[in-house]
Amino acid sequence: MKKEMFFNRRLFFSLFFFFSGILLIAQPFESDFSMLKSEGNIPEDFHRLINHDQKNMDMIYLRELFLSGTILYGTPINQYINTIIEQLLKDYPDLKEQIRCYIIRSSDVNAYSTSSGMLFVNLGLIAQITNESELAFILAHEIAHYAEKHSYEKREEYKMEKDKKAKDRRLSYLHYHTRSREIELEADRIAFERYFAASPYSYAVLDGVFDVLQYHYLPFDEAPFYIQSFETEHYQFPDNYKLTSFNPIRAREDYIDTLSTHPNIKKRRENMAQKVLQVDNDGRVLFLQSEELFNEIRKMARFECINILLTHHKYADALYNIYYLKQQYPNSKFLTIGMAFSLYGLAKHKNQHNLSNILPAYNQAEGEIKQTYYLLHRIRRNELSVLAFRHLWGVHLANPENQFIYDLCGDIICDIVTIHKLKLSDFSDYPMGINPENIVEELSTIDTIKTDNKYDRIRRNIQMQKVKPSSKFSTVNYMLVDLKQDQAFLKLFNKVLADKEDEAILSMVKNNEKVIKIDSVLVLNASYYQSVRDKKNKKTEKNHMNKQKQINRIDKTIDYTLKDLKFAYKQFTIPYLANLTTEEYNTFCRLQQFRIDYFSAETTNMMLYQCLHIQDIIKESGFDKMVLLVIHKQESSFVNFNKIYSLVIVPPICPVMLPAGILRFALPRSTTSLYFYTVDLKNGKTLYYNSQRTESDCHKAYSNAYIYDMFNIIKGRKK
């Protein structure tokens, strides 16, 4: 009986995804998702951050946040939040004018305010809340922080504590965290009594607010993850891919908060519960705006969070959340693409032995997502590659004109052929479980033999030859039974195989080194990092301010180099960003998302998800190549091997070098690492990469020469 029920469940999910695919293929391919874009005029806050020299650490951090391209303004989500803020502050018009709310493109569950009145809400928070009233209280909490100048108070107190003597440091540290916890409880109280109580929002949701905070690390919802949905009638995965037990969800709310800036959830929950008992909830509502609008706003946030997870290569989390959302939106084309790309990204990382960088361990995972992690750890590399191809091929059939999707299919087939050494003859034409003895041979008839010549019969027999199951076959050998009937698939598979064979031959008969010749590039603002040994606060502030000066210097060097070498280019420097339009800002943000995707791949050679969302920028700008420059400066130890070598070893051999050795030993030195990437925006592949490292006190001259040399190489003038 159990076996029959298991089969029925597997059949149900197979049919569910099969018919969903049929519906997807039957409709014109228009994605139901587009990345959120800012709308309206550039906020004054942006001009203030970019156009003025920043001495305050808060402003420095905010400028870096802006330059990351993660801030959103003027979107429907911004408008939805602003409506809630207007309701909360209807009795405080002056305060309402001071609050400016921005969305952060982040999947983390968080919101925070600054001393200047800027309130930031992460998309991850919008994706996790269950009603409008919950969001209203969280916003009221952050408004209370600003109104009471809590962020300023904590910062000044922190500076004071840092200046105390070392013997009092432990007591000062504990005192600072105690005061921070008191501030959080005070913000809860003020938010409730001053802003939330004056609104029509329901008190009954306050306990749910703390559920959102307590379980922030979990997916959008808890739902079983059935492996059967990734199987078909032709193949099934082994039983040991399925978990029989799950770790219970046990996020602690009564943890020891002595060393935390926030009180534990239990204290906050109990404080609010006491206040709710003292008030009347009659007539108060969960949704002041419509519930339909809330669901649409949350759907936007959840889809955008999927986009963020895919961009940051958190494919396992993306896969589970997509699987859950597919139950609500079975015909969503965005989710179908997202699931295919999640499997593709996982397969590429696993094929190149980089899976541990992006896949969490399943042992500590709580809830249903543990099955997802477990499956991805257990599944064999070749099975995951073929599974990824199956989903990508379904997307291709729905969108045959999209060359990028077709290239993805070819790329994963290339792994199947080269890494897993699988040919079409390794894939059965018959489903798993069939008895080979019951298969009837298909033979040519006598009439055909009389009418055809030998060569026609050879070609026809090759085409008619079927691969029978073998005792050596495993799951992967049955995963293409249905696709082997598709002539378009066979054509692509044979083309990839032929291309790889030709490439191998060409590499043997001639030097296959590519000559780089690039005349036009997009250049994003340089990434500059400085590691220091002195961890004192003043030193940190000084280095942050110096960082921006160095980036400006590097960008000017790049600008001079590009003009001198006669490149056609567009460079996203600070002066450019200071005067950009909202449309240009959106372009900058999408290129920054591409950069995140590119560096998240690390050493994995793969096509990038963000290429799907950047094709229109390529068409509009005319640029399909981008240059990324990363510079890392690190202070060297005052006494190191190179200094000792130049002072102790060299002078006895060459006495005239003694003054130079003394000078080198006396001067502080630093190590500068430079990384230069030229990337194809059409597929995310690296066209040229170079890195160099120098230990010198004249790093500016060295980096200037390096930049010029790199652009000279990609121009094709030097190898």
Report the pLDDT value the prediction gives residue 669, as an integer from 0 to 100.
65
Report the pLDDT value the prediction gives residue 436, as an integer from 0 to 100.
80
Question: β-strands 118-122, 111-113: how paired?
Answer: antiparallel
Closest CA to 90 of 136, 46, 52, 29: 136
- Helical H segments across 565-638, by residue range: 574-578, 582-600, 615-621
Residues facing 89 on adjacent strands: none
Are 236 and 475 in contact, with CB atoms under 8 Å apart? yes
Report the pLDDT value the prediction gives residue 718, as an integer from 0 to 100.
54
Name the token pair of 136: 């209203």
**Whole-number Å distance between alpha carbons of 602 and 311:** 13
**Whole-number Å distance between alpha carbons of 651 and 666:** 16
Q: Measured on CA atoms in the order 38, 40, 45, 51, is the torsion positive or negative? A: positive
Contacts of 703 (CB under 8 A, 6+ apart): 554, 557, 631, 672, 674
Helix (H) or strand (E) run with residue 673 in it: strand 670-680
Q: Which amino acid type is present at position 66?
A: F
Neighbours of 30 (CB within 10 A): 7
Are 303 and 33 in contact, with CB atoms under 8 Å apart? yes
C-alpha triplet 366, 372, 378: angle, nearest 5°: 115
Are 574 and 525 in contact, with CB atoms under 8 Å apart? yes
Q: Which amino acid type is present at position 600?
A: S
Transcribe 186-227 into DSSP letters. HHHHHIIIIIITTSSB-GGGHHHHHHHHHTTTS-SS-----G
Q: How far apart are the first and last CA of the chain?
A: 70
**Whole-number Å distance between alpha carbons of 503 and 506:** 5
Q: Where are the domains of the chain?
A: 70-215+251-299, 320-507, 520-715
Architecture, CATH, for domain 520-715: 2-Layer Sandwich (3.30)
Residues in the chain: 719
Closest CA to 497 of 552, 415, 578: 415
DSSP code of 648? I
In which residue ranges of the chain is pLDDT below 70?
1-31, 52-57, 151-181, 252-263, 441-464, 507-515, 531-545, 636-648, 650-651, 656-657, 660-669, 696-698, 717-719
**Whole-number Å distance between alpha carbons of 683 and 418:** 20
Q: Give me the chain's average pLDDT, please.
A: 83
**Whole-number Å distance between alpha carbons of 176 and 698:** 42
The model's pLDDT over 26-66, given as tens digits with 9 standing for 90+, comes to 333 345 788 899 999 999 998 888 876 666 667 778 888 88
Report the pLDDT value the prediction gives residue 551, as an integer from 0 to 100.
85
**Whole-number Å distance between alpha carbons of 60 and 54:** 6
Residues facing 523 on adjacent strands: 571, 627
Name the token pair of 376: 């991805």
Question: β-strands 520-523, 670-680: how paired?
Answer: unpaired
Name the token pair of 547: 């960082």
Angstrom CA distances, 464 to 15, 427, 496, stand at: 29, 15, 22
Question: β-strands 625-635, 527-531: how paired?
Answer: parallel
Transcribe 105-167 into DSSP letters. ---S--EEE-TTSEEEEEHHHHHH--SHHHHHHHHHHHHHHHHTTHHHHHHHHHHHHHTS-GG
The model's pLDDT over 554-612, given as tens digits with 9 standing for 90+, comes to 999 999 999 999 999 999 988 888 888 999 999 999 999 999 999 999 999 999 999 99
Transcribe 520-544 into DSSP letters. EEEEPPPEEEEE-S---HHHHHHHH
Residues facing 674 on adjacent strands: 631, 692
**Whole-number Å distance between alpha carbons of 623 and 680:** 10
**Whole-number Å distance between alpha carbons of 64 and 11:** 52
Are 629 and 557 in contact, with CB atoms under 8 Å apart? no
Are 139 and 119 in contact, with CB atoms under 8 Å apart? yes
Are 555 and 572 in contact, with CB atoms under 8 Å apart? no
**Whole-number Å distance between alpha carbons of 313 and 597:** 7
